[in-house]
Amino acid sequence: MIKNSKITKRFIKEALGSRNYFSYRADLLLYKLLLSILVLLAIFFISGDWSLSVIIAAEVFVIFTLVNKLNITRKKNEGEKKVINKMKREHFKKRIDEINPEDFEMLIGFLYEKKGCKNFVKKGKHMFLTEKEGLINCIKIYKLYDDIELEKIDVRNLITFMLQNNVKIGHLVTTGCISKEANELIEKFEDKLSIEVVDLEGLFIMMEQYGILPENEYFYNKVETEKVGDKKKLELKNNVFDNKKIFVYILAAAFFYIASTILPENNISMYFSYYFIILTVISIFYIVWVKYISEQVKN
- 8 Å CB contact between 84 and 216: yes
Measured between alpha carbons, how far is residue 74 from residues 4, 115, 176, 294 in Å?
17, 36, 36, 40
Biggest alpha carbon–alpha carbon distance for the chain: 94
| Chain centroid to CA 115 | 30
Q: For residue 263, what are the contacts with CB-CB under 8 A and spacing of at least 6? A: 41, 269
Backbone angles phi, psi at 222, to 5 degrees: -65, -40
**Three-state SS string across 100-124, please?**
CHHHHHHHHHHHHHHCCCEEEEECC
pLDDT in tens, 217-232: 888 777 766 654 444 4
Rounded CA gap, 290 and 267, in Å?
A: 35
pLDDT in tens, 100-143: 988 999 999 999 999 999 999 998 888 999 999 999 999 999 99
Q: Taking the CA atoms of the chain, what radius of gyration do you get in angstroms? A: 31
Rounded CA gap, 53 and 36, in Å?
A: 10
Confidence of residue 198 (pLDDT cuts 50, 70, 90): very high
What is the reported pTM? Answer: 0.66
Which CATH code, of 3.40.1350.10, 3.40.1280.10, 3.40.640.10, 3.30.1490.480, is assigned to 101-209?
3.40.1350.10
Rounded CA gap, 90 and 80, in Å?
A: 15
The domain spans of the chain are 5-97+218-290, 101-209
Which of 48-57, 203-212, 249-258, 260-269 shows the lowest mean pLDDT across its residues? 260-269
Count of positions (residues) in the chain? 299
Confidence of residue 187 (pLDDT cuts 50, 70, 90): very high
pLDDT in tens, 45-102: 788 787 888 888 889 889 988 988 898 889 889 988 888 899 999 999 999 988 998 8
| Chain centroid to CA 163 | 44
Q: Among residues 257, 246, 229, 256, which one has the least CA distance to residue 281? A: 246
Measured between alpha carbons, how far is residue 54 from residues 33, 51, 68, 256, 271 in Å?
13, 5, 21, 17, 20
Handedness of CA 255, 269, 259, 67 (dihedral sign): positive
Handedness of CA 239, 240, 244, 250 (dihedral sign): positive
**pLDDT on residue 260:** 73
Rounded CA gap, 174 and 258, in Å?
A: 66
Residue of 236 and 266 predicted with greater confidence: 266
Residue 235 has pLDDT above 60, yes or no: no
Q: How many CB atoms lie within 10 A of CB 213?
A: 17
